[in-house]
Amino acid sequence: MPFYIGESCVDETDKSCTEECPVDCIYEGDRKLYINPAECIDCGACETVCPVEAISSTLRGTPDAAWVADNAVFFAEPLPGRDGVLGNPGGSRRTGAIGVDTNKVASLGSRT
């Protein structure tokens, strides 16, 4: 998973990245967006349009391991209040807003 979304997206869900993504792999939680690592084609289009520079690549610099892992958790583990895992549903337009975040994001205080 070369691309992930970090903490600066929390409470700043601009969504310009979702409009730019050619494969619709960026999903909306309650307070943050998440890139599906299995659906992403590693094009980087989302990274260049993010106004808060929340999108990073694990292939450049020093990735923030905690946010890389949290991004993966959104798809691989049951989210609070949901019975099963989100997995790879084939595009965020199909699911719409998920409306819940990982425990890591939910536990953060409000940034606004």
Output the pLDDT for position 92: 95
Output the pLDDT for position 9: 95
Per DSSP, helices labelled H in 43-83 are 45-49, 65-76
Using a cut of 0.75, tell me whether the model's pTM lies above it: yes
Phi-psi region of 6 (alpha: psi -120 to 50; beta: other; left: phi over 0): beta
Output the pLDDT for position 11: 95
Sign of CA dihedral 84, 37, 21, 16: positive
| CB 1 within 8 Å of CB 71 | yes
Residues of the chain with pLDDT under 50: none
Cα–Cα dist 98/52, whole Å: 22
- At the top level of CATH, the class of 3-80 is alpha beta
Output the pLDDT for position 62: 83
Beta bridge partners of 56: 4
Which structure tokens are listed for 94? 């199909």
Output the pLDDT for position 38: 94
Output the pLDDT for position 112: 58
